[in-house]
Structure 1
Amino acid sequence: MQRRSSFLAVVAIIAATTAVAAPFTYVNERFGTVCTFPDEVFTDRQPEPDNGDGQEWLSADGASLICSGILNIDDDTPKGFVAAEKASKEPGYEITYSKAGKDWAVLSGLKDGKIFYERRLFGRDGVIRTVWLEYPPAVKSKYDRLVAAIAGSLKAH
């Protein structure tokens, strides 16, 4: 009986450790943008753009994640960014939530029928670092649980 109990304990430990995969941390070498996400969800890494500004991953259920950076050549501010996006007349683009702080901005809403969430960090080094998540409304409950952790992981390297 002792042998069976030990075997079951080992099986339980293996099941517990494999059910929760370690998150993947991406570091963009060009802009020092860092974000962490579950790579068991975002499994399809897209080719990196020639300019090396970031990376995109796709999921099997139609979601996408972009982690990138750009030079803040226009000295944009969080409040200025939010105001410009809210004033956008782009068809299929609707902001339903926005907030800006001293060095960050957050937007969410709908773009071309998908839910989006964007967080930007405005660095003192002249770089704007961004994480962008987009997903179909049908999988909203799944991704709504992931958004805060992924967006909160955005930082400068």
Structure 2
Amino acid sequence: MALASFVTIAATAAIAAPFTYVNARFGTVCTFPDEIFTLPQPEPDNGDGQQWLSADGASLICSGILNIDDDTPKGFVAAEKASKEPGYKITYSKTGKDWAVLSGIKGEAIFYERRLFGKDGVIRTVWIDYPPAQQSKYDPLVGAIAGSLKGP
């Protein structure tokens, strides 16, 4: 699966090289083209993940949190769909036994989020957002990046 993600990322963005991030605190892993997400941001003090920015306004976050509320994929999606946050609209959602995917609009950006609900009590997340004007560039990358999300 990881090799397929590398191949998909490389084929989709011919000049993009895959980079694999491993979070030391939660063991969250995700792979993405580091020639696109070139601006790593400092990790927060709690070490829960990291964010990367692109020159054209996109953002990628790979992180983990403790599942202190025993959240489930279906519960997460239901809560997000019920959100009244201005400018936040879910246009796609899907859940499995231990994962959830959301996509939609948040503010002025398109977003895609994948969460894995680990048996170790950690929720691992990859979040990608980008300007609508960049949709043709990022839509082909989202699946491979989100599919690379895993834990230990």
Tell me the TM-score normalized by structure 2.
0.90
Given candidates 54, 72, 76, the residue that maps to 1:77 is: 72
State whether structure 2 residue 101 is matched by structure 1 residue 106.
yes
Counterpart residue number, 2:43: 48
Equivalent residue letter for 1:128: I
1:28-82 deviation per Cα after TM superposition (whole angstroms, max 9, x unaligned): 0100100000000000000110000000000000000000000000000000000
Question: Percent identity at matched positions?
Answer: 85
Question: Partners of 1:84 and 1:100 in 2: how far apart?
Answer: 13
Counterpart residue number, 1:39: 34
Given candidates 87, 91, 109, the residue that maps to 1:92 is: 87
Shift of the alpha carbon at 1:21?
Answer: 4.6
Partner of 1:90, secondary structure, is coil
Higher RCO (Cα < 8 Å, 6 or more apart): 2
Counterpart residue number, 1:131: 126
Counterpart residue number, 1:140: 135
Given candidates 10, 15, 26, the residue that maps to 2:21 is: 26
Unaligned runs of at least 5 residues, structure 1: 1-18
Counterpart residue number, 1:10: none
Tell me the TM-score normalized by structure 1.
0.87
Contact 2:103–2:113 (CA under 8 A) maintained in structure 1: yes
Task: State which structure, 1 or 2, has the greater radius of gyration over its C-alpha atoms.
Answer: 1
CA gap 1:112/1:140 in 2 versus in 1, 3 angstroms: same
Question: Partners of 1:20 and 1:97 in 2: how far apart?
Answer: 30
Question: Partners of 2:104 and 2:65 in 1: how far apart?
Answer: 22
Question: Partners of 2:98 and 2:66 in 1: how far apart?
Answer: 15
Counterpart residue number, 1:120: 115
Number of positions where the alignment pairs a residue of Structure 1 with one of Structure 2: 139
Unaligned runs of at least 5 residues, structure 2: 1-13
